[in-house]
Amino acid sequence: MGVVSMWGVAVPLAWWLGVHLGIGLAGIWIAFAVDEWVRGLLMMLRWKSRAWEKKALVKPASPAEPEAGTGAAAQTTV
């Protein structure tokens, strides 16, 4: 995501602001800041959509299954 965002947002915007509009180094820094914001917003939207949970390699433990370390075998009487 970072590489795509940098090459898709930061580089073209830095060229447009820095060279085409003649802002120079300030335009390049503005482009970097915009890239960070765009990437942050996209990652926040992805996090809130919970789409990443569907790609998990390990299934979460169901509430019906006992946790490790509990049960009759783990309990000792003193």
Query: Quick one: pLDDT at residue 23?
Result: 93
pLDDT(11) > 80 = yes
Contact yes or no for 17/30 (Cβ under 8 A): yes
Query: Quick one: pLDDT at residue 1?
Result: 76
For the stretch 30-70, pLDDT in tens is: 999 999 999 999 999 988 998 878 887 887 777 765 555 55
**Total Cβ atoms within 10 A of residue 66:** 11
Half-sphere exposure of 9 (CA within 13 A, CB side): 19
